[in-house]
A = this chain, B = another copy of it.
Amino acid sequence: MATPAEFLNYIDSNKDAFFARLRDAVAIPSVSGDPARRDDVLRMGDYLESQLKAYGVETKRAELGEQVSEGKTLKLPPLVLGRIGNDPGKKTILIYGHFDVQPAAKSDGWNTEPFELTHDSKSGRLYGRGSTDDKGPILGWVNVLQAHHELQKPLPVNMRFCFEGMEESGSEGLDDMIYAEVKKGKDSWFHGVDAVCISDNYWLNTRTPCLTYGLRGIAYYKLHISGPGADLHSGAFGRMVHEPMTDLIHLMGKLVDTDGRILVPGVDDMVAPPNEEEKAIYNKLDYSIEDVEESVGAPIALSSDKAAVLMGRMRSSSLSLHGIEGAFYGVGAKTVIPATVCGKFSIRLVPPQTPENVTPLVQRYLDEEFKKLGSKNKMSCEYYHGGRPWVEDYKHWNYQAAHRATQAIYKQDPDYTREGGSIPVTLTFAEALGVNVLLIPMGRSDDGAHSTNEKLDVSNYLEGTKLLGSYLYEVQALTKA
């Protein structure tokens, strides 16, 4: 184990200071989605910057300009960039995190005031908005900096920081800023970065730490069918004309099977079956069918084979039918023949799928199937938006370091997970910097990010802080050889 006991002891001895830090941060309601809270987001950025400075980090604000929201012009919260260490004998690690949070109000069903950190010593939990998403993790890094500063120990790696205040609101301006910063070459605050580390997701369960090496992409589609000039009455026109809803339902029914199989030819086929090594990863994951069914609230898992179900989320594409615009959606009964309807569906993507290579398959297939219907209505399938999937090389030293750190702190091997959703900045860093990106969560699956009664377990906060520090030492140990 490469991590000095001195550092670990410091964390144990100063937990009250760390709680106080998280309390101060949670008390700032930095809700990026609420224009009335924009000043709090800016204040939270200031707070974070002052903490970094206090522990010897050189900082800079990267202004992102303005945003127009509900007719008001609002200043976008600047990125807080930081750098510490320039030792050419050490690796340089870029840390990303976000200091804005989701909205929260006691009246939503919180048991405590959402913007007052509540330490429930019985359950060992810290309740509060942002506790786990993402203030706990970013303050974990600050705790690591404090420890080294107070102990007057040099950090085992050079560190760079990129903290954002608009993550919960679409990360406006972030990607452009990252690409612009990278372009500066030697003058870039990202210059020389060897790997990226992000702590902004969760364990697969409540028991086992994990490392996350993949995220699905997405391609969102709108399937338009139009016929009559206006809505018709089914009494007057039923069985006289081609009804757009009939065509739409038929086409949507040709996209995906009840068992989740994507029926668009070629889409599922793009994905190679798992090799033995990969299969072993899924079989090893500490997650059961019962876990799935408990989290969805019904016994509706697609299979009784745990690995198959987990692969469904992590290494398979999926196609979900979200709904229909233009049809009758109210309670009660209406005998309308809707004139124009639009089916919404999306495909979650895994490599080598991309919106660019999947979209032509979807559109060609729907064209063919629509032709087969023999309808006189008009059909078009619009690609609406999307993003590429990301899968990382989990044998890279960046992951090995995190693996060893997990063993050192948690005394167990981490799960290796891929997430079904997307964290777009991951792909941006991977593409803009061309380096390995590691996702190393601090919190558990039941933390309730974005939900009421968001929490972070005390043990996750403190052991998580140790984990982050230990990871840096393992990077050093693995790469100095």
| Residue positions of A touching B, CB distance < 8 A | 216, 218, 220, 222, 227-230, 232-243, 245-247, 249-250, 252-253, 256-260, 292, 296-302, 309-310, 312-313, 316-325, 327-331, 333-338, 344, 346, 348, 373-377, 384-385, 419-422
A420→B227 contact, CB < 8 A: no
Query: Considering the chains assembled together, what is the distance between the CA atoms of A332 and B361 in angstroms?
Result: 23
Once A320-B335, A334-B322 are accepted as A-B contacts, the answer to whether A246 and B257 lie under 8 Å apart by CB is: yes
B258→A228 contact, CB < 8 A: no
Q: How far is the CB of A403 from chain B (nearest CB, A)?
A: 25
- CB neighbours (8 Å) of A316 from chain B are 239
- CB neighbours (8 Å) of A229 from chain B are 296-298
Q: Out of B232, B233, B312, B323, name the residue touching A240 (CB < 8 Å).
A: B312
B296→A241 contact, CB < 8 A: yes
Q: How far is the CB of A232 from chain B (nearest CB, A)?
A: 6
Q: Out of B220, B238, B318, B373, name the residue touching A313 (CB < 8 Å).
A: B238
Query: Considering the chains assembled together, what is the distance between the CA atoms of A218 and B239 in angstroms?
Result: 14
Q: Out of B250, B324, B325, name the residue touching A258 (CB < 8 Å).
A: B250
Query: Considering the chains assembled together, what is the distance between the CA atoms of A245 and B227 in angstroms?
Result: 24
Q: Out of B234, B236, B322, B419, name the residue touching A245 (CB < 8 Å).
A: B322
Closest to A289 in B: B240
Once A234-B348, A322-B234 are accepted as A-B contacts, the answer to whether A239 and B302 lie under 8 Å apart by CB is: yes
Closest to A257 in B: B246
Once A324-B327, A328-B344, A331-B325 are accepted as A-B contacts, the answer to whether A240 and B313 lie under 8 Å apart by CB is: yes
- CB neighbours (8 Å) of A329 from chain B are 323-325, 327, 329
Once A259-B374, A300-B227, A300-B377 are accepted as A-B contacts, the answer to whether A346 and B234 lie under 8 Å apart by CB is: yes
Query: Considering the chains assembled together, what is the distance between the CA atoms of A309 and B377 in angstroms?
Result: 16
Q: How far is the CB of A43 from chain B (nearest CB, A)?
A: 30
- CB neighbours (8 Å) of A376 from chain B are 298-301
- CB neighbours (8 Å) of A256 from chain B are 246
Query: Considering the chains assembled together, what is the distance between the CA atoms of A374 and B261 in angstroms?
Result: 13
Closest to A260 in B: B239
Q: Which 6 A-B pairs have the closest CB atoms?
A: A229-B297, A235-B421, A238-B318, A323-B328, A323-B327, A239-B318
Show 16 residue pairs from A and B whose CB-CB distance is below 8 angstroms, ordered by the A residue: A218-B335, A227-B300, A229-B296, A235-B419, A238-B260, A238-B320, A242-B259, A242-B300, A246-B258, A250-B258, A322-B335, A324-B327, A324-B329, A325-B331, A328-B344, A335-B346
Closest to A337 in B: B320
- CB neighbours (8 Å) of A297 from chain B are 228-230
B322→A336 contact, CB < 8 A: yes
Q: How far is the CB of A320 from chain B (nearest CB, A)?
A: 4
- CB neighbours (8 Å) of A334 from chain B are 322-323, 344
Closest to A261 in B: B239
Once A220-B333, A333-B384 are accepted as A-B contacts, the answer to whether A237 and B321 lie under 8 Å apart by CB is: no
A330→B325 contact, CB < 8 A: yes
Q: How far is the CB of A278 from chain B (nearest CB, A)?
A: 16
Query: Considering the chains assembled together, what is the distance between the CA atoms of A227 and B292 in angstroms?
Result: 13
- CB neighbours (8 Å) of A233 from chain B are 421
